[in-house]
Structure 1
């Protein structure tokens, strides 16, 4: 066990009851949660962790100094429109069902979205777009995701980020991505028995999916499947997975894509509907 410092914003020990009114998720960490302080700590702590242990260890990871500084600086200084709200200011664990048929993989939490609310794709414009689409096709209970206490839940699905901390300019470095990769690789390994479909948001999510499933023992086609909206690839076909897992590409629901019409509601719904059909949800 490594001793945990208090939460950088509340000053409370990790594992303390979540302060009322914050909208944060229940703290997965406890005083017994081991902390990754260096890149070498991450694979050791990810290896053989259960899903609950993985969530706890992810939520206190401090292996990337630049990302730790950024996420906490943003949480302390805050965007003016959220000045009266507390920020989570920590890494974001995966969220959704523990035995999903569908996994949705994105890049990283948004500085004033997931980094504020403690839930991936929650509290920003990209999340508004994504959850509205998930609700329309029957994969989310509500059309909005505002904070962790809003009653939202995923149906037959789980969301994970490739990099678990909000990065400056939404651009993690290659080293940060590599340092963080054992977390998603272990999560994919744990989810693999039930997963039938992966929806990769953007080229970054697509490449992360291929790397993570390869690390989890899945056969990945060669040459590497090319990302595109609506693109499909099969991972692990002919192995113990039988027909394998279907990888679907979807343009990322960034404002750059949605405001310009590069990604429309119909396009998003089509990919998610295809995922639901393939997963039998």
Structure 2
């Protein structure tokens, strides 16, 4: 994580993309992840560096808005080639789902902007890690299928067992990161939430939750609704050929049902992260 002064000589020489972005000049086709993860406003204070919190609060919404408008450093053909390489296992089964609500994945990850979002580190488009897809799908199966005894054997074969179990077993299906179906420049938008009763929570209940406590709006980035994502799964090396298609079909259905029922990512209780066919 690099935190640098906007006008420093080091920044001009070593991070020219960020420097030109800050100055509003140069090439506006830049990786949003670079600006989001690597740049924070700082000020000099008595010969040392200190975070300029007041300035940050004022410009954070504008800063996020600028990030959302950045053009990705990818042409359509380049993006297609990248997706083909991502899905380059011998047998890969892609399928698409569309965000029905806004989406925030990895919102709680460490970030210089207080809250985060999952962006491709090199190109800046939003992604959904395969581990997150597998996790929410496994949770769906536990809640709706295992308790009723349905597909118990298939669930074990597809997801595998923990290494702590006596009958530990590797899963037979690989969950691949989900990417937007096609390249574009309108994946992200700014959003805001306003926590109530901050004094109550920050002081572990020592102060009563009252309506006169200050409200501090928090700005963040989210994937807008209506973005089509390509999900992909593949049989692993331990999956028998005569069983592969049945397990692929079941896994695709369970992923679809999980993302329509539970959603994925942060704030699903506030209707974020839900998908539709």
Q: TM-score, normalised by structure 2?
A: 0.22
Considering fraction of residues, name the structure with more strand. Answer: 2
Decide which structure has the larger Cα Rg and report it. 2
Q: TM-score, normalised by structure 1?
A: 0.22
Higher relative contact order (CA 8 A, sep 6+): 2
